[in-house]
Structure 1
Amino acid sequence: MFNTYDVIVVGAGHAGCEAAHAAGTMGSSVLLITMNMQTIAQMSCNPAMGGVAKGQIVREIDALGGQSGIISDKTMIQFRMLNRSKGPAMWSPRCQSDRMLFAQEWRDTLERNPNVDFWQDTVNEILVKDGRVTGVKTAMGVEIMAKTVVLTNGTFLNGRMFIGEKTFGGGRTGERSATGLTEQLVQLGFESGRMKTGTPPRIDGRSLDYSRMEEQPGDEIPGKFSYTDTVPLTKQRSCWITYTEQGVHDVLKEGFEQSPMFTGRIKGLGPRYCPSIEDKINRFADKDRHQIFVEPEGWNTVEVYVNGFSTSLPEVIQYRALTKIAGFENAKMFRPGYAVEYDFFPPTQLKPTLETHIVANLFFAGQINGTTGYEEAACQGLMAGINAHQNAHEEKPFTVGRSEGYIGVLIDDLITKGTEEPYRMFTSRAEFRTLLRQDNADLRLTEKGYSIGLASEDRVERTRAKQAAVESLRQELRDIKLRPDEVNGWLESKNSSALREKAPLYNLVKRPELDTDDIAELIEMAYEKTDGAAAVLLSRDVLEQTVIEVKYDDYLARERENAAKLSRWENLDIPGTFDFDKVKALSFEGREKLKKLRPNTIGQATRISGVSPSDISILLVYMGR
């Protein structure tokens, strides 16, 4: 019934969708296996994409040729650029999504890919021969052969759901868990663990009193994620903000004795940076209120997501506490919040390509690696899909370095440091975050995506045109000079110091008190006085990119220098067959960690906990470096 596929992807969440589409786009024959064809790309938690550091990841996925940015643009109902009051390294795009449209658009996108086939079933065994994966076996007893397999099982591996004292098998509300696969992988030599995540109750928006909440509208001029020609929003839906108060906390505390988290029935660790509401009021007892974001789930639904109220307390307690929140006095609940505990596999068992050390041509991506978040999952799926294709066709591995993208930071963190709690990306995790901004992801990564056949020719031509326009504008800013009498009146109106002598526009752009809109006005004024081209011809992204690069020129130069130093270490390969036991001078801990994690480069070895600088020096000497 089935031919042998180049790539089988198990699971159709955010990781699985990106993996299948990437491998198919690059020319592999792909089979996407999912337990339920109706829940492809389901947004199991909040209906939103992006956010701090996560928005940068979505832009990087798009730059490489992935689909999350395009699909987010097509299905968003609100867009906001977060952290505008901070430096550009912190600016992070975020959108509120239409949950149902997002899933439908992903399915449509996959169905338009001629190399992607579908099969609805549960995979409970991988087929392995001579240390290499050869296919999968499903719950219906069907064996399907493949050159490579990508596991993106999400929260379904031995998933168990909790609401108060009630517990039942499942990986998501209304869907069963997947069993058998964890046990087989452990038998093959893999280490596994348990993690926990949760979700809040869903509410009927018609029952809420928005007059008692703070409105949170989208940006006046909404942006987008994709560097392609997706259409920006022309209308938006508002989100709303309200707060818990002591009465809410008192009701929640009544349910603590029935909390699966506090009674120890949940063993797995949950995400530290997205705690449940009961965990928040327990850990932060000194705070008399907590912020609640009220987020619509789409254009044509009344369902509302209560962001900040994740809980696994009994449904009666959840409801009573909700009705004491301002604006929720008459709330009607669609379904209660719940917690889910599931198996994961510590990611230190992976190579930088996300291929496992133990079984060749087997890849892990998403929550199976201990991460949390759609964006973190999607970028892993993209990289696993790319490398599954590369392996199937005997092409060289594809990686993104720490100095090239947040995707590189995330994967390197996972495979060298591992994680004991659900891993979430933050800008603070990146050493070179001034280089890794959301505005320049295309300039950083599109050529790389194009080189492997994922990013299209149209994408790379757009990127090259943008780069040329930025360089041209930078030169113009140096060439065009203004006299004090031409600009001092304008500078005074902007509370900026006057010029004493003729100066190039470049110098004025560097002034921190002048923002991008000011610079646009200044350029237009300068062009009028010098008969230059009209500033209106400049695209907003080219102007913003140029302004950032000019303002932070010195910082960027230092970061590029530091990144170049790091790359020298990253280019020193450690052979896969290297015998660390032969290097007797290594410390005992260093040798054991190196043997377990098998770093590909000296740079990766330097970031392994327990490997000391002296161990690195010894390795360099031993390798003749």
Structure 2
Amino acid sequence: MYSSYDVIIVGAGHAGCEAAHAAATMGSRVLMITMNLQTIAQMSCNPAMGGVAKGQIVREVDALGGMSGIISDKSMIQFRMLNRSKGPAMWSPRCQSDRNMFAWEWRKALEENRRVDFWQDTVSEVIVLDGRVSGVKTSLGVEFTAKAVVLTNGTFLNGKMFIGEKVFGGGRTAERSATGLTEQLVSLGFESGRMKTGTPPRVDGRSLNYGIMEEQLGDENPGKFSYTNTSPLKTQRSCWITYTNQDVHDKLKTGFEKSPMFTGRIKGLGPRYCPSIEDKINRFADKDRHQIFVEPEGWDTVEVYVNGFSTSLPETVQYDALRKIPGFENVRMFRPGYAVEYDFFPPTQLKPTLETQLVKNLFFAGQINGTTGYEEAACQGLMAGINAHRNVHEEAEFTIKRSEGYIGVLIDDLITKGTEEPYRMFTSRAEYRTLLRQDNADLRLTEKGYAIGLASQERYDNMVQKREGVTKLTEAIRTAKVKPEDVNHWLESKGSSPLREKNSLYTLLKRPEIEQKDVDELLAMFPELPQEGTEIVEQTVIEIKYEDYLNREKQNAEKLDKWENLSINPTFDYDQLKALSFEGKEKLKKLRPSTIGQASRISGVSPSDVSILLVYMGR
């Protein structure tokens, strides 16, 4: 155990784990401080990773050399690729996880890294000298010095938990809140706010009647998250779907007068896209039912997560309402749902590296920045860990552009626009989502991860092999010729018009009627083509079918990149530009954008303000 470290990570959730792994793998000596070493990488809410846009983030984290994809692959009990009926930009991997196995695999991975040390305690103070972080102080009075500190406090900063009229301190069930740190940061000049999230009851799966629910199976040929050699699932556990009804709603309404949300005891805003069941009933009064996903918590447990039933109503109301749900008539509840309110720090106080503007080498990542979701936290932790290491070793900052990854979109949104409610990633937030697909995250990002010393040689070699395979197959398909008599019968069976003359296979693949599921049949007619694996074939066909869209997005990204490459000095005096609008000037002074591109996306900064900046910079 040392008293001095390169990087200290405060918190051991998804953000903290990725931050610790990244900094240590790249060569820093890391100390992870957490309130409870038994809850490292705890899945506080649903036992799942990925989903719409979130699955893309997990694949990007993996492509850069992070661990969330590998851990998910090792602990998943079901895998599904969502949105297969839509275009490839919308395909999103999601897995159901074994909650205990996920946490154990993360802890094992961190313990295997000899540059990571652990300390069980609560950090009550960040030590700052001359505007630079120099360590932390814990509630036990122990001081650790460090060249950089990453705060990943989750929902624990002055956390309050609510079940009906009961209020108690805590950031997660059976775990206390962290006090003192918010107040100290505010005294240093930081702004803070309050947010709210919640979780549903957990129930005994042995007490449920699955016979009247809809079974939700995993994919027939399950995929995985990591680009490494992790093994795909051979067996899977089913999830189930049921619905609330008017009886459920009526029973829930009997507790509304004791709801901490409706009575105003909770001040923070909750996630708009993951509302509590009482909020759904209140906001969508015209709907007579809401979907409930019944999700097992692991391979060897009877505990079940009731997804879609997040609530902070009195526990007796929760229990009575659950028993009105089809299949839950005899349910036994393990623990009630609850809401938790906690402190966060508006992320407009951060640089693109997630370093704070006020204190050098102090980084924020995860829910402390106002985000929600394991995946959003993990990618922030990864980027904060990378940049903490690079700052300590006096290396250039590492960032990802909006055109390069969902990670870039998320961080740019946070530091440029801020957020007043828990931020969740969606594909609609990414203007270049056709480029930022889950299938090509390695081709986009692995070379970057390898260059900074995070992605391994094996990852890099796998990416190069895939890229070369795609190039080779694409050229073979481009030169392959198709005779009408060889394919017309097959084309007609797919509802596609027959060929009148010889054509190229490349052109044929662009037909919208030929879907991804039909490609193997078509390519099997051409045994002379290179025999590549499923991943390379899928990648190649996507690139061919959407070539025009992809080229258009690339051109748009290149046009806007010229502004992203125009840096603004962080100490630039905006008061000297008298022609700037009052609002534009105030926003620029407060947010301190690092580039013209970032400045152009700030709400309140007009196109004319951007033109004035460009003129001043000689552009």
Task: Report the TM range for the smaller structure's normalisation.
Answer: over 0.9
- Cα deviation, residue 490, structure 1: 1.8
Separation in 2 of the partners of 1:492 and 1:88? 25
- Cα deviation, residue 522, structure 1: 1.5
Find the partner of 1:553 among 547, 550, 555.
Answer: 547
Separation in 2 of the partners of 1:414 and 1:482? 50
- Contact 2:243/2:289 (<8 A) preserved: yes
- Cα deviation, residue 616, structure 1: 0.3
1:127-526 superposed matches below 5 A: 127-526=127-526
Separation in 2 of the partners of 1:270 and 1:523? 49
Where does residue 58 of structure 2 map in the other structure?
Answer: 58
Separation in 2 of the partners of 1:291 and 1:492? 40
Where does residue 624 of structure 1 map in the other structure?
Answer: 618
Question: What is the one-letter code of the residue matched to 1:589?
Answer: E
Question: What is the one-letter code of the residue matched to 2:599?
Answer: A
Separation in 2 of the partners of 1:65 and 1:59? 10
Question: What is the one-letter code of the residue matched to 2:272?
Answer: R
Q: Secondary structure at the match of 1:191?
A: coil
Q: Does 1:36 align with 2:36?
A: yes
- Cα deviation, residue 8, structure 1: 0.1
Where does residue 122 of structure 1 map in the other structure?
Answer: 122
- Contact 1:48/1:95 (<8 A) preserved: yes
Where does residue 605 of structure 2 map in the other structure?
Answer: 611
- Cα deviation, residue 96, structure 1: 0.1
Q: Secondary structure at the match of 2:271?
A: coil
Where does residue 542 of structure 1 map in the other structure?
Answer: 536
Question: What is the one-letter code of the residue matched to 2:603?
Answer: S
Q: Give the length in aligned residue pairs.
A: 619
- Contact 2:79/2:222 (<8 A) preserved: yes
Separation in 2 of the partners of 1:247 and 1:477? 59
User: C-alpha offsets along residues 186-238 of structure 1, whole Å, 9 cap, x if unaligned?
Assistant: 00000000000000000000000001100000000000000000000000000
Q: Which moved further from structure 2: 260-269 or 484-493?
A: 484-493
Separation in 1 of the partners of 2:159 and 2:34? 16
Q: Does 1:3 align with 2:7?
A: no
Separation in 1 of the partners of 2:66 and 2:607? 38
Separation in 1 of the partners of 2:449 and 2:282? 46
Separation in 2 of the partners of 1:375 and 1:356? 21
Separation in 1 of the partners of 2:41 and 2:83? 28
- Contact 1:10/1:33 (<8 A) preserved: yes
- Cα deviation, residue 495, structure 1: 2.0
Q: Secondary structure at the match of 2:518?
A: helix
Identity of aligned residues (%): 78
Question: What is the one-letter code of the residue matched to 1:34?
Answer: T
Q: Does 1:583 align with 2:583?
A: no
Separation in 2 of the partners of 1:179 and 1:3? 23
- Cα deviation, residue 489, structure 1: 1.6
- Contact 1:366/1:381 (<8 A) preserved: yes
Q: Secondary structure at the match of 1:526?
A: coil
Q: Secondary structure at the match of 2:9?
A: strand
Instruction: Tell me the TM-score normalized by structure 2.
Output: 0.99
Q: Does 1:566 align with 2:560?
A: yes
Separation in 2 of the partners of 1:340 and 1:152? 17
User: C-alpha offsets along residues 148-189 of structure 1, whole Å, 9 cap, x if unaligned?
Assistant: 000000000000000000000000000000000000000000
Question: What is the one-letter code of the residue matched to 2:155?
Answer: T
Where does residue 101 of structure 1 map in the other structure?
Answer: 101
Question: What is the one-letter code of the residue matched to 2:617?
Answer: M
User: C-alpha offsets along residues 46-92 of structure 1, whole Å, 9 cap, x if unaligned?
Assistant: 00000000000000000000000000000000000000111000000
Which structure 1 segments of 5+ residues have no match?
none
Separation in 1 of the partners of 2:379 and 2:239? 27
Instruction: Tell me the TM-score normalized by structure 1.
Output: 0.98
Question: What is the one-letter code of the residue matched to 2:536?
Answer: V
Q: Secondary structure at the match of 1:109?
A: helix
- Contact 2:54/2:376 (<8 A) preserved: yes
- Contact 2:3/2:143 (<8 A) preserved: no
- Contact 2:51/2:94 (<8 A) preserved: yes
- Cα deviation, residue 18, structure 1: 0.1
Separation in 2 of the partners of 1:582 and 1:20? 42
- Contact 1:200/1:336 (<8 A) preserved: yes
- Cα deviation, residue 494, structure 1: 2.1
Separation in 1 of the partners of 2:407 and 2:383? 9
Question: What is the one-letter code of the residue matched to 2:355?
Answer: E
Which structure 2 segments of 5+ residues have no match?
none
Separation in 1 of the partners of 2:113 and 2:306? 35
Separation in 2 of the partners of 1:174 and 1:206? 24
- Contact 1:71/1:105 (<8 A) preserved: yes
- Contact 2:346/2:418 (<8 A) preserved: yes
Q: Secondary structure at the match of 1:546?
A: helix
Separation in 1 of the partners of 2:192 and 2:571? 25
Separation in 2 of the partners of 1:526 and 1:204? 53
- Cα deviation, residue 3, structure 1: 3.4
- Cα deviation, residue 519, structure 1: 1.8
- Cα deviation, residue 114, structure 1: 1.0
Separation in 2 of the partners of 1:406 and 1:109? 25
- Cα deviation, residue 474, structure 1: 0.8
User: C-alpha offsets along residues 300-330 of structure 1, whole Å, 9 cap, x if unaligned?
Assistant: 0000000000000000000000000000000
- Cα deviation, residue 538, structure 1: 1.3
- Cα deviation, residue 485, structure 1: 1.1
- Cα deviation, residue 2, structure 1: 2.8
- Contact 1:162/1:339 (<8 A) preserved: yes
Question: What is the one-letter code of the residue matched to 1:559?
Answer: E
- Contact 1:36/1:120 (<8 A) preserved: yes
User: C-alpha offsets along residues 332-358 of structure 1, whole Å, 9 cap, x if unaligned?
Assistant: 000000000000000000000000000
Separation in 2 of the partners of 1:428 and 1:108? 36
- Cα deviation, residue 266, structure 1: 0.2
Where does residue 594 of structure 2 map in the other structure?
Answer: 600
User: C-alpha offsets along residues 242-284 of structure 1, whole Å, 9 cap, x if unaligned?
Assistant: 0000000000000000000000000000000000000000000
Q: Secondary structure at the match of 2:526?
A: helix
- Contact 1:516/1:543 (<8 A) preserved: no
- Cα deviation, residue 487, structure 1: 1.3
- Cα deviation, residue 39, structure 1: 0.1
Separation in 1 of the partners of 2:247 and 2:391? 58
Q: Secondary structure at the match of 1:89?
A: helix
Separation in 1 of the partners of 2:6 and 2:288? 56
Q: Secondary structure at the match of 1:436?
A: coil
Q: Secondary structure at the match of 1:499?
A: coil
- Cα deviation, residue 492, structure 1: 1.8
- Contact 1:26/1:389 (<8 A) preserved: yes
- Cα deviation, residue 516, structure 1: 2.8
Separation in 2 of the partners of 1:621 and 1:566? 17
User: C-alpha offsets along residues 353-373 of structure 1, whole Å, 9 cap, x if unaligned?
Assistant: 000000000000000000000
Separation in 2 of the partners of 1:348 and 1:517? 44
CA RMSD of aligned residues (A): 0.7
- Cα deviation, residue 624, structure 1: 1.1
